[in-house]
Amino acid sequence: MKNNEPSLSETYLKAFEYAFILHRNQVRKGSQRPYISHLLAVSSMVMEHGGTETEAISALLHDAVEDQGGLATLKIIRNEFGKEVAAIVEACSDSVTSPKPPWRERKERYIKKLGTVSPSVILVSQADKLHNLRSLYADYLQKGDALWQYFRGGKDGTLWYYHKLVQVFQTYGETPLLEEMKRVLGELVQLVRSQEEQP
């Protein structure tokens, strides 16, 4: 943790409980595992890479607005966890409305937004996207091309999105999270191409 923070406060536990309530019936697209596993992994990565408790809480809640209630959920987060957490969560959301805009429009808007955000948002977003990439790679090993049916962008759109994310993250400088993201993306692309080349 930054600033020699020795431990987490009760606020972190409160955020975990809220995230659990919001996402307890949600599962991951490919593996169908409990969605909370993703939130815990992202929060863990944020802490492991020097994040503050505020950033770790934001990581727990980073999908709450996008997937579980939009602006009404954002208002609760702001009231319960403060303006800074709410700002990070909002910046990490590619949509705050329901129904969501078309997939490509959301992703292009999110990529553009990432060009003007705080270091806290970049940290949480990199941890989020890296864990998604790790999961995507593992799920592709299990399911092959059948995996893409779970993703609105399909194979081409999904790979395009992660390449664009890497490009915008690079404008903020190299980080261990970004380095691993580039490595996993490269391995995934090679695996996909090898499958395409098979007769």
Percent of the chain with pLDDT over 70: 96
Interval 90-146: pLDDT, tens: 999 998 888 889 999 999 999 999 999 999 999 999 999 999 999 999 999 999 999
CA distances from 141 to 95, 156, 176 (A): 30, 17, 24
Half-sphere exposure of 133 (CA within 13 A, CB side): 26
Candidate list 67, 80, 84, 108, residue with the active-site label: 67
Q: Is the pLDDT of residue 5 over 70?
A: no
| Lowest-pLDDT range of 76-80, 96-100, 151-155, 164-168 | 96-100
**Residue 29: its pLDDT value, please?**
83
Q: Tell me if residue 67 is catalytic.
A: yes
Handedness of CA 45, 58, 93, 116 (dihedral sign): negative
Half-sphere exposure of 58 (CA within 13 A, CB side): 30
Residue ranges and CATH numbers for the domains of the chain are 2-197 (1.10.3210.10)
**Residue 74: its pLDDT value, please?**
96
Q: Count CB atoms within 10 A of the CB of residue 148.
A: 20
Interval 9-57: pLDDT, tens: 999 999 999 999 999 999 888 778 999 999 999 999 999 999 999 999 9
Q: Tell me if residue 94 is catalytic.
A: no
Candidate list 55, 63, 66, 90, residue with the active-site label: 66
Q: Which helix (H) or strand (E) holds 90?
A: helix 83-91
CA distances from 36 to 18, 43, 89, 153 (A): 11, 11, 16, 23
